[in-house]
Amino acid sequence: MRILILGGDGYCGWPTALHLSARGHEVSILDNFLRRQWDHELGCETLTPIRPLHERVDIWRELSGNTIRTFCVDVTNYHALADAIAATEPDAVVHYAEQRAAPYSMIDREHAVFTQVNNVVGTLNVLFAVKDLAPDCHLVKLGTMGEYGTPNIDIEEGFLEIHHKGRTDVLPFPKQPGSFYHLSKVHDSHNMMFCCRVWGLRATDLNQGVVYGTMTDEIARHPGLINRFDYDDVFGTVLNRFCVQAAIGMPLTVYGEGGQTRGFLDIRDTVRCIELACLNPPAAGEYRVFNQFTEQFSVAELAAKVAAAGPHLGVQVEVQHLPNPRVEREAHYYHAVHTRLLDLGLQPHLLSESLLDSLLNIAIEHRDRVRHDVIMPRVNWRDTHNRQEPPAPVERPLAAAAGAPAVRFR
């Protein structure tokens, strides 16, 4: 299968490219390297020392004998994107090429506008290019569980059967996005569904939970293939951040009470989900949604797990509560359906003690690279101009591993 990965230099895109290449697919990567530039803007860098893309693909070719073509293209440049699609003639396009951080979209007006223009216009360009140049191609698009918000009912996979005044219909599940980033994903979903209906395209919207980890079987083959490990307050996901804080002796920073519950998955499951979606395409004209996560946790539960694991590796861990910089419910019902990928054969890597030890060991190995000043939250949802210092911690009893509330995060 010929597969073009948009955003293939990024945290999810790079391990996906290696995973699919290792399984015999003809893989190409398209990226504009903006994610690397944002490190400079924010004054931080990935915990793990990643190589330039051209070095990464050279190492992979020497190890595997497989060539990954690369295109330096911005998806908001339609003509360059169209040229890449014409050159690769893909059977599937995997679309990661978006600004992916909610805090980044909430910094100020400029970052909110950039996020929505980059994400919505980029996806529109992809849809037009697929229609004009590869109409039988399967678009596999990374969405987010954050589109749904935290409703007081079970979250179905994309659609909900509605009974209203004696009539019944199956409609898109109601959306309650929590940031300008999440709003951009909702717009993407609507545009994709519309194009499938009117143009007969085929698309899979993967509403992914929070990803953790950095290692896959392919990345483990050579240190030069190492993946990103983001821990800062803008792009760092919560479990990765907690592991870094534990490694450097900084208290784990729980926002608010820590009851925010979300779906989570290992990066190894991300790449397998993409493969399963590609191998099982929808029919022409079909827009489908898979909820892509394997477990649900709260922030407080994750903090408790890291606090319990730390002493095994020689680090003592404390937990500290901060005023929540986000506007979100901290105590809520959360139960999301996620069966469709399991039905296709996904075998999840659950968050075991050994896996958590592995994450902590990576953080400990590279802790000399940590920038302490980019971990505390600097972006407050309530402000329209975020350049202030991070907030002071709230005076509250420390949450011990056994005593943390049993609720869950994004």
Specify whether 181 is catalytic: yes
Specify whether 305 is catalytic: no
Q: What pLDDT, on the 0 to 100 scale, is given for residue 403?
A: 35
Q: What pLDDT, on the 0 to 100 scale, is given for residue 306?
A: 98
Residue at 19: amino acid letter: H
* Nearest CA-CA partner of 197 in 272, 137, 283: 283
Dist. CA 162–CA 363, nearest whole Å: 47
- Among the listed residues 123, 185, 261, 305, the single catalytic one is 185
Burial of 331 (0-12, 13-18, 19+ CB in 10 A): middle
Q: Specify the 3-state DSSP secondary structure of 134.
A: coil
Q: What pLDDT, on the 0 to 100 scale, is given for residue 394?
A: 46
Dist. CA 361–CA 18, nearest whole Å: 23
Encode the chain (410 residues) as per-residue pLDDT tens digits.
Answer: 999 999 999 999 999 999 999 999 999 999 999 999 999 999 999 999 999 999 999 999 999 999 999 999 999 999 999 999 999 999 999 999 999 999 999 999 999 999 999 999 999 999 999 999 999 999 999 999 999 999 999 999 999 999 999 999 999 999 999 999 999 999 999 999 999 999 999 999 999 999 999 999 999 999 999 999 999 999 999 999 999 999 999 999 999 999 999 999 999 999 999 999 999 999 999 999 999 999 999 999 999 999 999 999 999 999 999 999 999 999 999 999 999 999 999 999 999 999 999 999 999 999 999 999 999 999 999 999 997 555 455 443 333 333 322 222 22
The pTM for the full model equals: 0.94
Q: What pLDDT, on the 0 to 100 scale, is given for residue 260?
A: 98
Dist. CA 185–CA 147, nearest whole Å: 7
Q: What pLDDT, on the 0 to 100 scale, is given for residue 387?
A: 74
- Among the listed residues 76, 144, 253, 294, the single catalytic one is 144
**53, two tokens:** 């893309």
Contact 46, 14 (CB under 8 A): no
* Nearest CA-CA partner of 87 in 98, 76, 73, 101: 73
Question: Can you give the length of the chain in residues?
Answer: 410
Measured CA angle at 119 (ends 117, 125), to 5 deg: 90
Specify whether 148 is catalytic: no
- Among the listed residues 11, 104, 148, 181, the single catalytic one is 181
